[in-house]
A and B are shown apart, each in its own frame.
Chain A
């Protein structure tokens, strides 16, 4: 006689230590094996897009910061690029360089949080605090430049709010030389740890086909082995002036596109970002950073879609202007929201502990998922 069994529904979140915010995962379990995962979102919905319609163009920037709060600088970057495209203005060379430096620092900071919290999800507490210790230094650099530590409002349409601090270049170079050995230490402590590899390699394999079908971008797509980076393939700002590589997943410890690959891409990208920062600091031109900021931003009637390579993937802004000082519509195509969609696909057939590992490896920020 077959035993009558039932699946168990487990609600992970919205209050759960490792759903990275207020995400609810409705997990259907058979023992420890997952039958399906249904993400429920919206606990952090703040009507950003609707808000933006009541704001003038510069006033949107503080709201943009709050989307992906771990990569606020890059959100501003993307927004500024989009509005500048709409206005048809050119920003000074120095502004572009500073934007790239800040953007890459932000990328390192965001990846540090991603890597650190991933370690925490897997159960290693110490790497998490090491990552935060290093992130703190980047944040100090930002604080020195614009006075804020998390939500900067630094990159403005047509320029920057402040020029670099006189000490910035020296401190940034100091950070670059400080950070290189720390990456190695992190690798020894976490990336190549056997238990960590066992937990992440061959778990949550994302085949390239599926990744493209689901619209995955950024490190997650590169983890599946596809060399795609908007910084190179659809270049913006001054990224074409720097020499850097695009790391792709090779399946070093398991299969191409597994959690370890996605994790390791981020570690490698931090190194690439350091390369870009070093080059940009060397080439940094002199100039005025506020000269191109328009007095009143009133774009002509029209629409624009512009995308940048956010630390988490492709961040696109679709802005419609009706000629007034307020945007008629601001639509954001955020990476985290798109990436959350593959949870069910990746988790099927794995165990509860793997849900956490997979969720951590796709690196979402709920502020941007719910917007």
Chain B
């Protein structure tokens, strides 16, 4: 919809596409990342009885901007023995993978970067970019810590994609679509229509689905946590073992790219989870716009709900990070292969049987 609007406005498809593709970056991802970094620091500080950043702006709200400015000024240290092209490409590729995922995420019913029929599938596919980027960074850095971190990361992300996909398949089996907009539209109305509560309708199968859906949500949340390398699964960058893992050798803006990508990734997976299980951009209790008859209010409300849900899951990720210790690499694999994948399969079978009813 926005694309049509811009293409009419400028009379050029190219400019419209360009704007369309840059919009999420500038109106959403960058402000979000700046906010999330500050927020994480505040959340961690308050959980630990501290205050966190307090100097720059109100309660340190502009601290991240100050940090980014500092990172801009920093020398870009490039060790002599590194593999330069790979070293330089890695942070960009990392960010591209994350950014591309946002293309298929429906921010509201009118604004979606690209309304793909294979939306979920696309997101899973492009988020695999980060594996390549991490491997590149680890290999090119010519640092043993980086290399170990990269190897761990590759193993981890590839393993954890399996339970993610298995859960997504269960959703697809129930709804019959991979399109995130359609999925979100299906969960319209009130919160009891959300997939976590069995999806729309009021048949028997809806109620039978609830336990399986909660299990599925748990599995996908844990495995996406692992995919974005957050504690307790942050072993690729485990600071107490591997210093900083694959981005040990990076400094200045390149490091900032990894940092930005990490936070953007957190939101990407959170939004996917929200779209799959929690109604995406749908309001849990009807729209104010419908109530007072202002149709243009609805997309704004939708963006609000979408952001709220996404940020809530990001908050839970932070909450987990500041609560839990880190798993060891073999335990990480155990969790995936011995617990998540079998459970996901069982869940798949149960949901398959329920949908047959």
Contact = CB atoms under 8 A, between A and B. Distances in A.
Interface of A: 8, 10, 16-18, 32, 119-126, 129-130, 133, 189-190, 193, 195-196, 198-199, 351-356
B42 to A, nearest CB: 14
Nearest to A27: B144
A351 B328 contact: yes
Contact of A353 (B50, B231, B241, B243): B241
B138 interface: no
A112 to B, nearest CB: 15
Contacts of A351: 328-330
B44 A125 contact: yes
Contact of A126 (B47, B145, B232, B234): B47
A199 B332 CA distance: 11
A123 B331 contact: no
A198 B239 CA distance: 19
12 contacts: A123-B234, A123-B324, A123-B325, A124-B325, A125-B48, A193-B325, A195-B327, A198-B328, A199-B327, A199-B328, A351-B329, A353-B238
Interface of B: 44, 47-50, 144-145, 148, 231-232, 234-235, 238-243, 322-331
A58 to B, nearest CB: 40
A198 B243 contact: no
B239 A195 contact: no
B48 A126 contact: yes
A120 B240 contact: yes
A353 B329 contact: yes
A27 to B, nearest CB: 10
Nearest to B240: A18
B328 A126 contact: no
Nearest to A189: B323
A353 B325 contact: no
A18 B235 CA distance: 15
A190 B44 CA distance: 16
- Please provide the 4 A-B residue pairs with the shortest distance between their CB atoms, ordered closest to farther: A123-B326, A129-B48, A124-B325, A18-B240
Nearest to B327: A195
B323 A123 contact: no
A16 B238 CA distance: 12
B243 A190 contact: no
A259 to B, nearest CB: 12
B327 A198 contact: yes
B323 A353 contact: no
Contacts of A130: 48-49
Given A125-B44, A126-B47, A352-B148, A17 B240 contact: yes
A123 B330 contact: no
Q: Which of A8, A122, A198, A354 has the most CB of B within 10 A?
A: A122
B315 to A, nearest CB: 15
Contacts of B326: 122-124, 195, 199, 353
A129 B240 CA distance: 16
B48 A352 contact: no
A126 B322 contact: yes
B318 to A, nearest CB: 11
B50 A129 contact: yes
Q: Which of A189, A351, A352, A355 has the most CB of B within 10 A?
A: A352
Contacts of B322: 125-126
Contacts of A124: 323-326
A194 B324 CA distance: 9
A199 B329 contact: no
B226 to A, nearest CB: 13
Contacts of B241: 18, 352-353, 355-356
Contacts of B48: 125-126, 129-130
A353 B242 CA distance: 9
Contact of B328 (A121, A190, A354): A354
B210 to A, nearest CB: 26
Nearest to A125: B322
Given A130-B48, A352-B148, A195 B240 contact: no
Given A17-B240, A198-B328, A353-B241, A32 B148 contact: yes
Given A122-B326, A199-B325, 18 more contacts: A8-B144, A10-B145, A16-B243, A17-B240, A32-B148, A121-B240, A124-B323, A124-B324, A124-B325, A126-B44, A126-B322, A130-B48, A193-B325, A195-B324, A198-B328, A353-B235, A353-B328, A356-B240
Nearest to B152: A32
A17 B238 CA distance: 10
A10 B144 contact: yes
A206 to B, nearest CB: 19
Contacts of B44: 125-126
A123 B47 contact: no
Nearest to A117: B240
Contacts of A353: 235, 238, 241, 326, 328-329
A141 B310 CA distance: 46
Nearest to B324: A195
Contacts of B50: 129
A303 B84 CA distance: 64
Contact of B325 (A32, A195, A352, A355): A195
A126 B323 contact: yes
Contacts of A129: 48-50
Contacts of B329: 32, 351, 353
B325 to A, nearest CB: 4
A281 to B, nearest CB: 27
Contacts of A17: 239-240, 243
A112 B10 CA distance: 65
Nearest to A203: B328
Contacts of A195: 232, 324-327, 331
